[in-house]
Amino acid sequence: MAKIFAVSARAVVARISDTPARALLRAGVSPNVVTAIGTLGVIAGSLVFAFTGNYLAGTIIVTLSAFTDLLDGAMARARGPAGKFGAFLDSTCDRIADGAVFGAVAWYLGYHDRPWGAAAAIVSLATGLVVSYAKARAEGLGFTANVGLIERAERLVLLGIGGLLSAFGITYGLDYALGVLAVLSIVTVFQRMATVYQQDRAAMAAAAAGKTES
């Protein structure tokens, strides 16, 4: 149910981002520029949170900046094929932004004697990187691993919910959200590993059957 909701939400946001995407293209703005600006915005929001502990400001800045991740994709689709560097830059900047966000959260919570929340942030960061890597590596080997309970969009949504809960008085709202996120991310890693394993077994069985028939 959560996955269906996330997919539907992405579709709605994608439609919303189409208009500004086309406007930016008409103004001569490159999707790569939007990617870079969005990443810098995420880093700035992360620093704001790390040094001020302002949950609401940090959440708003990161959320608005993360919107550019959808915006640059919409721009790339509207513009059409223009090389592969944009996709490479987008994926790389996503990893930089994730490191900034979860690193800032881990530092802040650890500094304020909330070790379990800090640990959950570190686990969420590490497993989030593995989730992305597993998909890329599977595709490089000729498999698919586009499965799992949680991907980058869901990670940011959960983190944002945790930040808002803390901003409105639930002291450990962020810690709880990070705990849920860490568990779901670990499950997603194993889901992707299991999916690739099954595809590999099926491919080997098919190859063996082909040799037997020949």
Contact call for residues 134 and 193 (beta carbons, < 8 A): yes
Please enumerate in sequence order all residues whose Cβ is within 8 A of that of 52, keeping only pairs 6 or more positions apart, or say none.
58
Rounded CA separation 36/93 (Å):
7
Q: Where are the alpha helices (DSSP H) in the chain?
A: 2-26, 31-52, 55-79, 85-111, 115-140, 152-167, 173-213
Active-site residues: which are they?
94
Give buried/exposed letters for 175-205 (b at 16+ CB in 10 A, else e): bbbbbebbbbbbebbebbeebbeebeeeeee
DSSP tag of 27: T
Of 49, 54, 97, 44, the residue nearest 72 (C-alpha): 97
Q: Which residues contact 65 (CB under 8 A, 6 or more apart)?
A: 38, 39, 40, 41, 42, 44, 45, 97
